[in-house]
């Protein structure tokens, strides 16, 4: 009986050692990167941190380019049809149709442009940008003007939408993991 217990203990220790040695490799399965060239190119063009873009994609769609949410959001960065139509006018994507948002490069380009647009509105505040990306810029502006959610009108101390609060937390967590795992500081 003691031999069996010692063998099990040894196997567990070996397994733990293998996991520790291969920690980054194992973690990369949960936090993969796809479409890196598009992310690097368009994040640079629109002055957005590529780690933020990758983290949004991972949180929104888990890199499923054919993702379609129950609310009707399309593609990797889960862009809503009205938002896609609006962005397409600025990017001169003509003619535009919703299925175009399934194209990884178009979706990432639109998502980076939109993150940049939100960044300008919210002075580069990542938490506000993410809250607006998920919960809507109009809602974030309302929350900033409400003392229950913002003490100074510049930052949120409380996000009233549970889904948006969780979204911001997930993207920020993914961001830290991606920064640890990958080197995206390349020139396009």
| Helix (H), strand (E), coil (C) string for 68-89 | ECCCCCECCCCECHHHHHHHHH
60, 65, 92, 105: the active-site residue: 60
- pLDDT of residue 9 exceeding 90, the answer is no
2 — pLDDT class (breaks 50, 70, 90): confident
CA dihedral 143, 135, 158, 124 (to 10 degrees): -80
Segment 71-97, tens digit of pLDDT: 999 999 999 999 999 999 999 999 999
Q: Which of 13-27, 40-54, 113-127 has the lowest mean pLDDT?
A: 13-27
20 — pLDDT class (breaks 50, 70, 90): low
Q: Which CATH number fits domain 31-181: 3.40.50.300, 3.40.50.2300, 1.10.530.10, 3.40.50.670?
A: 1.10.530.10
Strand-pairing partners, residue 74, are 68, 79
Active site annotation includes 165: no
186 — pLDDT class (breaks 50, 70, 90): low
In the chain, where are the structural domains located?
1-27, 31-181
The per-residue pLDDT of the chain, averaged, comes to: 93
């Amino acid at each position: 009986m003691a031999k069996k217990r010692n063998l099990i203990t040894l196997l567990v220790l070996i397994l733990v050692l293998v996991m520790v040695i291969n920690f980054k490799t194992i973690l990369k399965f949960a936090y993969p990167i796809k479409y890196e060239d598009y992310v690097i190119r368009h994040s640079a063009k629109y002055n957005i941190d590529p780690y933020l873009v990758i983290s949004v994609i991972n949180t929104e769609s888990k890199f499923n380019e054919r993702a379609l949410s129950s609310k009707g959001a399309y593609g990797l960065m889960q862009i809503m049809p009205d938002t896609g139509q609006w962005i397409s006018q600025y990017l001169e994507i003509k003619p535009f149709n919703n299925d175009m948002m399934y194209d990884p490069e178009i979706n990432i380009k639109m998502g980076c442009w939109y993150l940049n647009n939100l960044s300008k509105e919210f002075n580069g505040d990542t938490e506000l940008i993410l809250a607006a990306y998920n919960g809507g810029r109009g809602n974030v502006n309302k929350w900033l003007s409400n003392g229950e959610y913002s003490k100074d009108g510049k930052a949120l101390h409380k996000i009233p939408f549970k889904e948006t609060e969780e979204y911001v937390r997930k993207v920020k967590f993914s961001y830290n993991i991606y920064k640890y795992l990958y080197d995206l500081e390349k020139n396009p």
